[in-house]
Chain A
């Protein structure tokens, strides 16, 4: 039964897969570890007791995972990190350093707050995507401006995006306290978005699925995802060796999709009773996590499986070669910034539609995700799946920081310190290599060095 024209790749054993992951992840993991050790030293020196170090780190872990709703809160904090660091990574891949994600986050938030509250009584399957799109487009346009300026006039994006950050903070402030202000609220904030535009929390899902159009939409989405997973499973793993016939394969995709869709349509309400976020009204976990995972897969697909992604990476790796090969540099730079800004805008959108208590944009909006996400993107070497993992880690650190401070009296800014050190160790790998006596591998350091170029362009 051996087929000579088999296109199936030889399946790799678990051991080699783990080996490969370790090869890639070794440096970031060691960098983080070293950063935590240095952080412990700082705590020890500033408080004079090793017990404080234990209190701090155990508080961090308890706060991030084991306190009530700790784990889901970590997931809530993970979502904006995923989107923002994907945004930074897309920029890096195209040779652009988008420090402006924080500003694009704000513009996206304003756009979403407006789109969510401007109209009412639309069905959720229209209004929610509309509000998400508004945020993405707002952030995308905001980021496309520095992209265009970079491509056309050479204005370096590092400075223009930082300047636009400050402009967008003021702009958001202006909109929230001026044109978009809710006249009936006591606090300075925009009106809350209508219920149809809210991002679904886990708790609200059983109730929302009672609306037929919502249930149908969920069924379709789940069916699509299942079909994509089935396709991937047959193409890239040893499962596919049995089914070489293309028609047979299509049947399998369709069957998997149909089955999953039907389960989602009829089985989801009872299934939701099994996991506590669905039944706890105070749990803030929302479906943004799934959007984030989808975004990571989408960006991976875009960058490594499409012509556009190839061109973006080419412009990032060597703009001169790209120009010589007939790639339109201006178009690609603007597009890369627009995609990057769109992702950042989505992060702001999700915070407004799904996390903020009033489901609106208040005057003082929690932030500080921007610089962290640069660290995440660098730490993960711009790999979308590495980003998901690092975002989870950073989300856990952010979420656990409060209990750490409460537990040990150590300021939660120590987290930023640890993150900066981890970033430093990743940016200057020779330090980590020297500490742990790792030899430089013979493999070429593929795209590691082409993160961003200096003013000269």
Chain B
């Protein structure tokens, strides 16, 4: 047993540890102040309190798909499976969600009133989009766990497959002559909490997937670091042979984690067409799946860290859009590059060297 406890102690040390909640809270405060200063520096004092609150609310919104992608990465890689096919799964889920939302709504319109039809079709779309992502993830799981193919190649296959599949369905069924859809999820205002000044509009006037994302961060963090299940997962990711010797079914753990990760990536994909905009276009995920991986590395394979990473990228995008409103003379391409450049800076370890789980990316051979 000591082998496992040793490894766990090591991962604890490399992770953000018990203080993660406070780190997150401090970061939120820091982001608030820093963005206020920076924004006003660039745009010359025109960003009042409403503008800053709007920017930060936008930050949370834009961080949602990145955080989902990062959580998918955490789930997979803590169990030792690299997943660079998140982008593809999100694309697939976005396409399925859009199509199901649209056609279910049309079917239901005759039967119930529009509001009920819209709610039912959105929920059904969410469920089926998860199924779509899961389908691709099953492929990834079988190919990389069972057949022991190189996991990065397998992820690339998923990405190309998703581009082909979504493009095919889009051209065949979703490109033209579409009826009106039910639209995206409405904003859910949480009673009482939404009335807190500043924090209320930022955190408690969001759409449902954003709340799910925040809850998931807590749940996954708790599961990974405070339950026997999490101990097993981390053992499998650090030293599968030792875990196997102690009677943990390595394949089973990896399958469960990878498939759950796929579902989470599906949530991230559904965000695009059920929360952000009411259209689907090919390649609409625009690299956010990969940025999610960078957020995961930034967060040192830790759910809270991943959330912080996602928030930084969210802040980058929302601040650039605020800047572009006030300063149209700055060529829009320059600020648009910033999140990507930021990712590279993060990866080079400026913020501290990140150590992946020791068995990350290595197929496990049962003996």
Contact = CB atoms under 8 A, between A and B. Distances in A.
A193 to B, nearest CB: 23
Contacts of B149: 427-428
Contacts of A165: 287
Given A97-B152, A428-B147, A454-B152, A423 B157 contact: yes
Given A162-B287, A420-B160, A455-B82, A153 B349 contact: yes
A160 B347 contact: yes
Interface stretch (A305-313, A332-340, A406-414): A406-414
A155 B77 CA distance: 17
A427 B294 contact: no
Contacts of A166: 286-287, 337, 340
Interface stretch (A168-176, A214-222, A354-362): A168-176
Interface stretch (A22-30, A317-325, A371-379): A371-379
Given A155-B347, A170-B336, A456-B360, A378 B153 contact: yes
Interface of A: 42, 46, 97, 99, 146, 149, 153-156, 158-160, 162-167, 170-171, 173-174, 177-178, 371, 374-375, 378, 410-421, 423-424, 427-428, 430-431, 449, 451-456
A-B CB proximity, top 6 nearest: A454-B361, A416-B164, A413-B167, A411-B171, A417-B164, A155-B347
B248 interface: no
B345 to A, nearest CB: 9
B297 interface: yes
Interface string B270-299: 000000000000000011001101100100
Contacts of A170: 333-334, 336-337
Nearest to B346: A155
B167 A411 contact: yes
Nearest to B147: A428
B331 A159 contact: no
Given A153-B349, A416-B167, A159 B150 contact: no
Contacts of B360: 454-456
Nearest to A378: B153
Interface residues of B, number: 50
A163 B290 contact: yes
Contact of B82 (A173, A374, A415, A454): A454
A452 B150 contact: yes
A156 B151 CA distance: 14
B171 A413 contact: yes
B174 to A, nearest CB: 11
A414 B168 contact: yes
A155 B349 contact: yes
B283 to A, nearest CB: 10
Given A413-B164, A427-B143, A149 B347 contact: yes
B157 A171 contact: no
A449 B159 contact: no
A146 B196 CA distance: 45
A174 B331 contact: yes
Contacts of A431: 147
Contacts of B156: 99, 371, 374, 423
B163 A416 contact: yes
Contacts of B161: 417, 420-421, 424
Given A167-B340, A452-B150, A454-B360, 10 more contacts: A97-B152, A149-B347, A158-B152, A159-B297, A166-B340, A411-B167, A411-B172, A413-B171, A428-B149, A455-B360
Contacts of A99: 156
Nearest to B347: A155
Contacts of A451: 150, 152-153
24 contacts: A46-B172, A159-B293, A159-B347, A160-B347, A162-B290, A165-B287, A167-B340, A170-B336, A174-B334, A371-B156, A374-B156, A378-B153, A411-B170, A413-B164, A413-B165, A414-B164, A416-B163, A416-B167, A420-B163, A424-B139, A424-B143, A427-B150, A428-B147, A452-B150
Interface in B110-165: 139, 143, 147, 149-154, 156-157, 159-161, 163-165
Contacts of B343: 159-160, 163
Interface in B244-265: none
Contact of B356 (A149, A158, A455): A455
